Amino acid sequence: QTPWLWNTRQCWSGYPYQPLMPDLHYYYIVELSFYWSLMFSQFIDVKRKDFGVMFTHHIVAVTLITFSYVTNLTRVATLIFCLHDVADIVLEAAKMANYCKCQKLSDLLFLTFAVVFIVSRLGIYPLWILNTTLFELYEALGNFPALWVFNVLLIVLQILHCFWSYLIIKAAYKAISKGKVAKDTRSDVESSSEEEEAEPRSKAPLSAAATNGTSGTNGYLTGAPCSEEH
């Protein structure tokens, strides 16, 4: 329903005197609460080899959300929210299918997630989001300090997208070549490859590399069996 979804130049029309609509305000509250929860829960969750990268992502996400709210860069920020949330939906569905022992459905959803993640984070994000924040914003308003702070954080987010895309492509390749999703390559605590091969197919853990969030992926992947199997 918003014009800036279809024309990103509308993000800067009338800036900074843009009213914050109630629905966007509550969208901000939900997203900020979600990433703050991940900031704390990662210390009690299973620690992966990319713990430092994940922690960096959460710090960048919280900083971006807060900074964009304070500087009223809310229109483009809501586009970033939507772009990051769409991949998380498929990832969480893949997790639930894995926990329900629906391995074929889990594998299919994971491969779908891989396609959605790569298209949204390596395609739409730089061509749609970074294009408007780096070029259209500068053309519309000129140079000002918040522009550089905002863009540096967005570029750091893109670097993290590239890192996780590598892990996702690696897992997707194994899924296609072996006929099932392999174990999470980020984990140091999962069973060895020999033990995994000995497990029934229905117990093979799902692997995925996430995001969130943004922008916002929730950042936590299924790399271990269900709780009753521990």
Q: b vs e for 112-146, b when ≥16 Cβ sit within 10 Å of the residue's Cβ?
A: ebbebbbebbeeebeebbeebbeebbeeeeeeeeb
Maximum distance among all Cα pairs of the chain, rounded to whole angstroms: 62
Q: Of 132-136, 178-182, 217-221, which range is least confident?
A: 217-221
Burial class of residue 174 in the structure, from the number of CB atoms within 10 Å of its CB (0-12 exposed, 13-18 middle, 19+ buried): middle
Q: Determine what percent of the chain is predicted with pLDDT higher than 70.
A: 77
Q: Of 46-55, 72-81, 153-162, which range is least confident?
A: 46-55
Picking from 97, 107, 91, 122, the residue whose alpha carbon sits closest to that of residue 209 is: 91
Residue 194's pLDDT is: 39
Q: Of 6-10, 50-54, 186-190, 214-218, which range is least confident?
A: 214-218
Rounded mean pLDDT, 152-156: 96
Q: What whole-number distance in Å separates Cα of residue 143 and Cα of residue 31? A: 28
Per-chain mean pLDDT for the chain: 81
Picking from 187, 217, 204, 175, the residue whose alpha carbon sits closest to that of residue 101 is: 204
Residue 48's pLDDT is: 80
